[in-house]
Amino acid sequence: MKLTFQKDDLLNAINIVLKAVSSKTTMPILECILIDATDQQIKLTANDTELGIETKVDGTIVEEGKIALNAKLFSEIIRKFSGGDSLVMIESDDRFNTVLSCDNSVFRIQGRDGEEFSYLPYIERENYICISQFSLREVIGQTLFSISPNDSNKMMTGELFQVHADMLKVVSLDGHRMSIRNVRLKDFYDDLKVIVPGKTLSEISKILSGDNEKEVLVYFSKNHILFEFDDTTVVSRLIDGEYFRIEQMLSSDYNTKVTINKREFLDCIDRASILIRENDKKPIILNILDNVMQIKMNSSFGTMNAEVLIKKSGKDLMIGFNPKFLIDALRIIDDEEVNLYLMNPKSPCFIKDDDENYIYLILPVNFNAASV
């Protein structure tokens, strides 16, 4: 095999597939990136058996072939070569001895037989949706923060993707909060419901360009989901099982509705968080009165009191929250004002817009009213 690339083209492709290289494995082939220069095109592939990524890369095929190279070593060598426009040459022989050269630098490393590499599973292109890269990246960014970081409950490490007619609903939850985004699609599709691993969505969001004019085709099978965009294909296993019945967690009832300037609200909570250290469980207290919300923080480092003007309908209410959960939700809302719907100090708070394009549910925390 003998190939030439511009360094930047090759490095960009390596960076895309690196996201699917296994970091913990007893199989050395899973620590590799496959270079497949057959069928008059060059493709790089990485596959850790849960997540696989394949991308095409511009280059010149002098001699066809395929080789698997250790991903970490391969990427570091290419990264260290100088000049983005420099020409990189990759040559390998029948024993998988591989030469990587650029300008005056030459590396000789040992590759592995490309035939040993596990290709991406074949997915039928039947059940699918089409969505813009912008919308997909946005919806991932606006929900991913509320998945569970550990896998004590597998369902909570993924996100529900539910399609009905021309709507895509994306849901994540971690036991303390829930995020829901509803996105209108351009066409109508068959109903479907799958659970996509959070890791897959995190890695995809890093690759997507965010261009509203570019689209992603998302294909669904019984056990896998496939994302196809630009010159890249991402295949992931789905999480098996029945997702939580989120409809039972949603309620349109409320005793108190608050409309508040999002930026002022967020800034106050952000400032109050200065008084909290990582293991500190101190809540932020919201005291909702007629035209004002009093925001209070009382920790071992000090106290903070602030007031923000609001529009309120319904009852006065004092309620406590983990400030991080409020910050996470408010940061990804673009609206100038946000609406909070509350029932009582022990019931969830809903932050949602009028059309319910987004819904954020946050459970309150107990606090001692006497110490406020």
In a domain, 229, yes or no: yes
Residues 144 and 240 in one domain: yes
Q: How many CA atoms lie less than 13 Å away from 163 in the CB half-sphere? A: 19
Chain segment 228-240, per-residue pLDDT in tens: 999 999 999 999 9
For range 177-183, the mean pLDDT: 97
Residues 131 and 244 in one domain: yes
> The pTM is what?
0.92
Q: Which of 116, 138, 166 is the last residue of a domain?
A: 116
Residues 143 and 239 in one domain: yes
The C-alpha angle with vertex 32 and arms to 145 and 203, in degrees rounded to 5, equals 15
Chain segment 303-347, per-residue pLDDT in tens: 999 999 999 999 999 999 999 999 999 999 999 999 999 999 999
Residues 280 and 358 in one domain: yes
Residues 45 and 93 in one domain: yes
Question: For position 372, what pLDDT does the model report?
Answer: 58
CB 254 within 8 A of CB 74: no
Question: For position 17, what pLDDT does the model report?
Answer: 97
Residues 135 and 62 in one domain: no
CA separation for the pair 42, 64 (Å, rounded):
9
CA separation for the pair 246, 180 (Å, rounded):
10
Asked whether residue 257 carries a pLDDT value surpassing 60, the answer given is yes
Residues 133 and 216 in one domain: yes
Asked whether residue 367 carries a pLDDT value surpassing 90, the answer given is no
Please give the mean pLDDT across all residues of the chain. Answer: 94
User: In CATH, what number is assigned to the domain containing residue 84?
Assistant: 3.10.150.10
Range of the domain at 60: 2-116
Distances (CA, A) of 216 to 41, 88, 142, 288: 22, 31, 18, 44
Between 25 and 217, residue with greater pLDDT: 217
Phi, psi of 78 (to 5 degrees): -65, -40
In a domain, 122, yes or no: no
In a domain, 147, yes or no: yes
For range 233-253, the mean pLDDT: 93
Question: For position 371, what pLDDT does the model report?
Answer: 57
Q: Which of 71, 97, 116 is the last residue of a domain?
A: 116
CA separation for the pair 343, 261 (Å, rounded):
21
Six token digits for residue 326: 């409020």
Between 151 and 14, residue with greater pLDDT: 14
Residues 257 and 359 in one domain: yes
Query: For the chain, how many structural domains are there in total?
Result: 3
Asked whether residue 370 carries a pLDDT value surpassing 50, the answer given is no
CA separation for the pair 297, 275 (Å, rounded):
8
For range 65-73, the mean pLDDT: 97
In a domain, 121, yes or no: no
Residues 206 and 311 in one domain: no
| Length of the chain measured in residues | 372
Residues 178 and 103 in one domain: no
Chain segment 35-57, per-residue pLDDT in tens: 999 989 999 999 999 999 999 99
In a domain, 189, yes or no: yes
Residues 199 and 274 in one domain: no
Asked whether residue 83 carries a pLDDT value surpassing 70, the answer given is yes
Residues 93 and 190 in one domain: no
In a domain, 33, yes or no: yes
In a domain, 244, yes or no: yes
Q: Which of 220, 248, 276 is the last residue of a domain?
A: 248
* Nearest partner of 372 among 295, 310, 311, judged by Cα: 295
In a domain, 26, yes or no: yes
CA separation for the pair 208, 162 (Å, rounded):
21
